[in-house]
Amino acid sequence: MANSNTNHSSSSSIDPNSGFCTETKIYHSLRPHAPLPSETASLSITDYVFSLLCQNSPPPETAALVDAATGRRIPYHDLVIRTEALAAYLHHRVGLARGDSAFVLSPNSIHLPILYLSLFSLGVIASPSNPINSEPEVSRQIELCKPVIAFATANTAHKVTSIRTILLDSAEFESMMTTRTGRTPRVNISQSDTAAILYSSGTSGNFKGVELTHRNFISSLAGTQACRPVRPSPAVILCAVPYFHMYGFIYCVRAVAMGDGLVTMGRFDLRLMIKAIGDFRVSHLALAPPVVVAMVKEGDFMDGYDLSSLEAVVSGGAPLPIAVVERFKKRFPKVQLTQAYGLTESTGGFTRMMGTNESRRFGASGRLVPYCQAKIVDVETGIGLPPLKQGELWARGPTIMKGYVNDKEATAMILDSEGWLRTGDICYFDSEGFVYVVDRLKELIKYKGYQIAPVELENLIQNHPDVIDAAVVPYPDEEAGQVPMAFVVRRPQSTIDETEVKDFVARQVAPYKKIRRVSFISSIPRNAPGKVLRKELIKLALSGVSSKI
């Protein structure tokens, strides 16, 4: 795979504002960057995390990990000791070795970052899964990652019956992290070794195992370090995103590498999160879009809580409607709201907002991160497009996955021979290098030859004061091919009806974009990172759901 460690070219054909090269039609990252470690060096994610931790040198009293529910704290000194002790136990007593795979089925906990780092240091592949997955779903994922051991909790272990399982919420696991069982093993790990197997959301019905290497994560961490602002004290981050998802997975590893405090919630609770901001002086929140929406639409209960420490909220996993961004800014004028864009296949975000000025770009998902390149490709001709032209976003760089586990056909469909990852998202760059996500390529509604982006219509509907949430899907039509159908969640006691929704949208869009059908439902189905599960809504629409629901 062709990966580039350089952001800039000596060529005068690269626009210094957008990063667009008129000769190659490639967008280049203009972020600060530093040389990556040599690809041939033996280096695990854990080695690199601890080397960055030494550079960032948080004060000894800094809590590395905090449990929001119990207040339990693990300082950085103890985190390193526990990571090394656990690695030694898993190597000497359990027999884990480089190339083995470990399945993880657990809600967020302060134990997970320690477990991940211990596994990485041994060259063992970490493969976390959503703890609410069904047993058949878990079995499918186990078939993909072929683990020799599982780590679960008392509530999830019954779903993993075919392999040895260690309970993360047991006294036995606590002992593994605190009892020395021999020398910490030094394993010769290649950066090209698979470090983690994470799973695509499965919205198409079949899980895919995404193979990510040590080099992928090291490159992501190096980019964060290169752009890291100078702070008088470590940040305190509350990550309310699942650690089994790419967003939460990279965030919890990154927080440790940067020497920040990481506040962890087990089961998400909005009130507990708001209380934890004051209790632990949280400076940064990492959230999925539905939580941001809840903070602005149902946030009256926050009055009276101390939120003075909050500096920034990071939203990722799905785009935020511009209306929500505007409401957030009005409610929290001193808090930066930043968005990022990426995929599991790209080791998380490869565009990101940084700083106050960039966070003011409503609707944007930031600029390319260090070491990354991108193209906007015309979906009809395959030609690379300049700024302000919409097309499919392709990405390339050292954070792009190795491939899908045991699925050469699916890998070839998304990765080409030059290392370009086809995201399947319709996007565009503006003249200053900011990326705007328009919609999923496969989700565009085809109305009489016109292409309609569901997200655009959803943003409009969500701006109505009587609407809590909305999603738009294609509905088959004999004459037009497809028409936009809206699923709408009303505010309690609201009497908004189908005609009002249609008229509200019609006043703001071209005639071909009008909403033609409306159905009112109690909630919009979404996956863990907040993406609308359109396939479920399409099934609901085709089953004969009427607008009178």
Query: Could you list the mean pLDDT of each consecutive 10-residue stretch along the chain, which spans 549 residues?
Result: 43 88 96 93 97 90 93 95 96 96 97 98 96 87 96 96 94 94 89 95 63 98 92 93 92 96 92 94 92 81 89 86 86 92 92 89 92 95 95 96 94 94 94 90 76 85 93 85 92 94 90 92 85 88 59
Q: Are residues 406 and 528 in the same domain?
A: no
Q: Which domain holds residue 485?
A: 444-542
Q: What is the pLDDT of residue 215?
A: 98
Does 196 map to a domain? Answer: yes
- Domain co-membership, 328 together with 376: yes
Residue 502: CATH number of its domain:
3.30.300.30
Backbone angles phi, psi at 365, to 5 degrees: -115, 20
Choose one of 385, 405, 436: the last residue of a domain: 436
Q: Say if residues 197 and 103 touch (Cβ distance below 8 Å).
A: no
Do 169 and 265 fall within a single domain? yes
Give the separation between CA 212 and CA 120, rounded to whole angstroms.
Answer: 12
The count of structural domains within the chain is 2
β 209-213/149-152 pair status: unpaired
Indicate whether 429 and 487 sit together in one domain.
Answer: no
* Rounded Cα distance, 540 and 545, in Å: 6
DSSP conformation class of 39: T
Predicted structure pTM score: 0.84
Place of tokens 């990485």: 120
Q: Which of 523, 519, 479 is nearest to 502 (CA)?
A: 519
For strand 450-452 and strand 445-447, is the pairing parallel, antiparallel, or unpaired? antiparallel
- 333 and 256 fall within a common domain: yes
* Burial of 495 from C-beta contacts in 10 A (0-12 / 13-18 / 19+): exposed
In a domain, 101, yes or no: yes
User: Is-contact 216 120, C-beta < 8 A?
Assistant: no
Pairing label, strands 367-368, 373-377: unpaired
* 214 and 302 belong to one structural domain: yes
- How does DSSP assign 284-297, residue by residue? EEEE-HHHHHHHHH
d(CA 444, CA 481): 12
Same-domain pairing of 394 and 501 = no
Nearest to 373 by CA among 42, 9, 82: 9
Q: Which amino acid is at 464?
A: H
Instruction: Please give the Cα distance from 217 to 44 (Å, whole number).
Output: 9
CATH number of the domain where residue 181 is located: 3.40.50.12780
Domain boundary among 393, 416, 436: 436
- Looking at residue 496, its pLDDT comes to 95
Last residue of some domain: 377, 404, 436? 436
**One domain for residues 381 and 451:** no
C-alpha distances (whole Å) from 18 to each of 44, 198, 429, 501 are: 34, 32, 8, 38
Residue 133 lies in a domain: yes
Residue 316: predicted pLDDT = 84
Classify the C-alpha dihedral 382-387-392-393 as positive or negative.
positive
147 touches 159 (CB < 8 A): no
For residues 65 and 74, the answer to whether their CB atoms sit within 8 Å is yes
Q: 161 by DSSP, 3-state: which? A: coil
**Is the same domain home to 491 and 358?**
no
Residue 108 near residue 262 (C-beta atoms within 8 A)? no
* 492, part of any domain: yes
Specify if 15 maps to a domain. no
**Please, where are the H alpha helices in 280-429?**
289-297, 322-331, 355-359, 408-414
Place of tokens 């909005």: 270
My answer on whether 57 and 163 are in the same domain is yes
Residues 6+ apart with CB under 8 A from 248: 108, 239, 241, 242, 286
Distance of CA 503 to the CA centre of its chain: 35
Are 458 and 328 members of one domain? Answer: no
In a domain, 111, yes or no: yes
Residues 6+ apart with CB under 8 A from 400: 1, 3, 216, 345, 346, 347, 415, 419, 421
Does some domain include residue 227? yes
